[in-house]
Every structure is written in C-alpha cells, then in structure tokens.
Structure 1
C-alpha cells in the first residue's frame, strides 16, 4: 500500500474502485480500516480513497501538537499528489471535523460533504470524555483501554450479543498498526481545540449529516446543530445507530450515503 510525504510526514493511503472520487476520513484513534464494512458497497460505483490521519495506522505519528486544520491540510496535499481535483468527502467523528475544514479552506475541491457522527463545537461533557480518552493510553494497555472506550461506541444490543465485545477487544489487541500513546494524545487535543460553529454558514457544497439515535458520544443535538447552521444541509437520524454505526449498521449507512451521492453526482447534475 502506498505512502507519500506531505507536510513533513509520511501519509498512508489506499485507493480502490473506479468512478467519481470519494474520500473517506476516519475519526479519533481509528485508521482507514475503520471503513472496511462499507467498502464493498462503495467501490462498486466510486473510486474510494482512504487515508490514515497523522498519529494513527501506517502514517507518521510525530510527537508534537496536531490541529484539525493541519490534518485537513495533510488531506488536501494528498489529493493534490494523486491528481484529484474534486471529490465527494465523508468524515466520521473527528474525520467529520477534518471534512468541515476541507470544505471551508479548500471549497473548490469538495463536490459534496457527508458528516457522520460529528459536531462543530463540543460541550463540556464531550470535552471531558475526549480529554480522558487522550490521557488513558498512558496508563492502560490496549485491552483495558478498549474496555473503557467501547461502551461509548456501541449499543446495548451489541453488548447483549454473547462474545461480541470480547471479539472486538481481541481484534483491537492483535491489530498490527496500533496507534502510539502520543499519537492518541495529540489527536485528542486537536479535537478539543477545534471549533467550526461560527464558520458553518460558509460551507457551500451539498451536505448530508448522519447520526445514530443511540449515539451517546456525539449525541443527536450535535448533528442537529450542524444541519441547522450549514446552508441547505440534510439530516438523517438512524433509529438503531450508535457512534459505531459504520460497524453495527454498515449496510444502512452505505445506503444512506449512496442515496445522497446519487443525487449529487456529476452525471446527475449534467
């Protein structure tokens, strides 16, 4: 899998499929593999580009502060390097923050925007959770860290499925590209220092906002605020969805994404 040098780091990326370009940006502590459950559907009609944000996966994890704007600049540099001039973008969680900054600073590159389980400005409770999730890797091993983090990600339904959570913890502990402690810390602080609320009215591309009704980490009110402030944004609230709906409800999320993309493809507009 390829890497390129951008903004002083090695950035890992992956391209699959053909068609209009679609960029997928993962969230805190997650690399490009977080989109795996929806990939089979998306690559049937789109050239899907995934990347590992700085701090995770196979990209560099420099031990100094990160910003969401910086990660957006990394992503824009990747698009330039691979010759993509305009792209549909989907960002999950922190990836949605990065996607917002891309739409604001590089609007000419963004054909449409999908913000999944994301927000413009977190509240006090959310900031306390993110601060803790950034600090805990310094004192917990990956299995204990997963036990702390996963209740914020998945539904009671999954926790009631025998062996499901244990399987996720085992997968996480055996993953070959675990993020570094300092990478997680710097990503968490990038989240805490990000705020797009007073700039959302400047996002001019077609925008879809999606959230799970059962999301306790980035609750529905965050997505309602995004949809209210971004001009003409569409809001979809999934009844069964949690913050981890890309895993728990992958088919449903892929369908919602497809419906939006179909309505905003170049072929349809022309």
Structure 2
C-alpha cells in the first residue's frame, strides 16, 4: 500500500485517473472510503489524489492533538513529494477548513478551491455534538450504533425518509474498512475546536466554489454565506433538501457542479 512520510507523518494515499491534479481532503473522522460515490466520475476528468489525514484510516496516529495548520502542512508536503506543481483542492467540513488554510498559507501552489459544507469557525452546537460522539465512542465502538447517532444531524429529512438511503448508509458505515480510533478522534477534534479563519479568510484570492446544504445542521448555510461574502472571487451553491454531505446525498449533481467550476 502506498505511503509517503509528509510533515513527519506517514500518510496513506491513492492516485486515480489522469489530467489536472485534484486533491480531495476528508472531514472529521473521514478516510478515503468517504469519496467512493464521486471518485469514479471525477477520475475520468482529473488526476485525483485521495488520502487519509493524520489520525484516520491507514495513516499514522501521532500522539497529542492536531491543529488544522498541522493537517494543511501534511497535505501540502504530500503534494510536494508526489511532484504536483499546482493543484485544485476540495475539502468537506474539517477538510474545508484545511483547504482554506492551504489557500491562505500556500497560495502559489493552489489553483482553484472548493470549500464544501464548512465554516470560518466551527459553531458551539457542532463542537458539542462532536464531543458527545467522543464520549459515546468511549463506551460503545459499534459502527452501526455510531452511524445511528450521527445520522439525524448529518443527513437531510429527504435522505432519512427513504428506506433505500438508510440501508445503503448503514451498510457503508458497517463496511468502513478503516474506522477512526478514539485517539485519532480526540486529536482531530482539537483542530476543529481551535480553527478560526475569520481574521484572514478575506485574503484568499483564488477562484473558489463554496458548497452548502440548506438542511446542514453541522456547518450552517449562514456560515457558508459568510465565507462567500468574505472570499471575493467566490461563488456559492446551496443544495436543496440536503444536509452536511452532498457528495453522499447527491453525488451526481455534486460532481456536475464541481466539474463545471473546475473546467469553466
């Protein structure tokens, strides 16, 4: 399996497809498995780099807590060591915080930016829910029960009221080949807790697409609107009847919007 030591951390990665490079950065507790519904189409148009952030999947789980800056530095070092000169970047949720940081701190190495269902500062309700999840995980590591706990705040009413969606969601959760450890969960949580881009987000000058869901209870639509208002060269798309994960609820539409932005 492919690994690269990036920023002193062994990161698991995969490269799919050919074309201009597109780096996909997962959210809290996520891993490469989370991109499975959109990867097959994207790799027909781009050279897609997917990887496990520090603390998740098959990557190292270093001691201590992780900042968003740590994870942005990991990602840019991985990109450099793979020989990519300039890349598009797409991150969801915590991944959206990471790509904001990359666009700000490593501006010359970034082409276009996609910030999916993210924020300039994670709100207190979201952080409280994530902390509850950590407390629950300490007592119950059953993947199905964890999926049930997250479902009502991750997904839209439309998604939850269709039995086929629930079946697929729970099957994918149970079959996750590399679920996060408690240690990694706690370490990544610290990064969300301390992240705050409000003092510098207006300095991002890249062409930027901001995605949101009108029923997102984790990163609220008004938080995506804030990013849109403060990133001058940005456009905002809000998915209707959608929660926190449009790439899972509406993978085809998600890809169409992304490709129109990146190829336009």
Query: Structure 1-normalised TM-score?
Result: 0.93
CA distance in 1, matches of 2:172, 2:252: 21
Query: 1:146 Cα deviation (Å)?
Result: 1.5
Q: Who is 1:247 aligned against?
A: 248
CA distance in 2, matches of 1:254, 1:94: 20
Per-residue CA deviations over 1:136-165 (Å, capped at 9, x if unaligned) read 321222222221112111122222222543
CA distance in 2, matches of 1:136, 1:156: 24
Is residue 244 of structure 2 the alignment partner of residue 259 of structure 1? no
Asked whether the 8 Å contact 1:135–1:185 carries over to 2, the reply is no
Per-residue CA deviations over 1:36-69 (Å, capped at 9, x if unaligned) read 1111211111111111101111111123111110
- Which segment is superposed worse, 234-243 or 171-180? 171-180
Secondary structure, counterpart of 1:179 in structure 2: coil
Per-residue CA deviations over 1:168-200 (Å, capped at 9, x if unaligned) read 234323322111111011111211111111111
After TM superposition, what 4+ stretches of structure 1 lie above 6 angstroms from structure 2? none
Per-residue CA deviations over 1:88-137 (Å, capped at 9, x if unaligned) read 00000100000011011100111010000010112222222232233332
Asked whether the 8 Å contact 1:18–1:45 carries over to 2, the reply is yes
Is residue 176 of structure 2 the alignment partner of residue 175 of structure 1? yes
1:70-89 to structure 2, matched below 5 A, reads: 70-89=70-89
Q: Who is 2:195 aligned against?
A: 194
- Which segment is superposed worse, 134-143 or 38-47? 134-143
Asked whether the 8 Å contact 1:133–1:188 carries over to 2, the reply is no
Q: Which runs of 5+ in 2 are unaligned?
A: none
Asked whether the 8 Å contact 2:33–2:176 carries over to 1, the reply is no
Secondary structure, counterpart of 2:189 in structure 1: helix
Query: 1:87 Cα deviation (Å)?
Result: 0.3
Is residue 31 of structure 2 the alignment partner of residue 31 of structure 1? yes
CA distance in 1, matches of 2:123, 2:27: 18
1:30-49 to structure 2, matched below 5 A, reads: 30-49=30-49
Asked whether the 8 Å contact 1:131–1:189 carries over to 2, the reply is no
Q: Who is 1:135 aligned against?
A: 135
Q: Who is 1:150 aligned against?
A: 151
Q: Who is 2:66 aligned against?
A: 66
CA distance in 1, matches of 2:23, 2:147: 27
Query: 1:166 Cα deviation (Å)?
Result: 4.5
CA distance in 2, matches of 1:232, 1:134: 37
Q: 1:213 to 1:135 in 2, by over 3 A?
A: same
Is residue 222 of structure 2 the alignment partner of residue 236 of structure 1? no
Secondary structure, counterpart of 2:56 in structure 1: coil
Query: 1:167 Cα deviation (Å)?
Result: 4.2
Query: Structure 2-normalised TM-score?
Result: 0.95
Q: Who is 1:3 aligned against?
A: 3
Q: Who is 2:209 aligned against?
A: 208
- Which segment is superposed worse, 138-147 or 39-48? 138-147
Secondary structure, counterpart of 2:199 in structure 1: helix
Q: Who is 1:267 aligned against?
A: none
Q: Who is 1:221 aligned against?
A: 222
Aligned-residue CA RMSD in angstroms? 1.4
Asked whether the 8 Å contact 1:134–1:187 carries over to 2, the reply is no
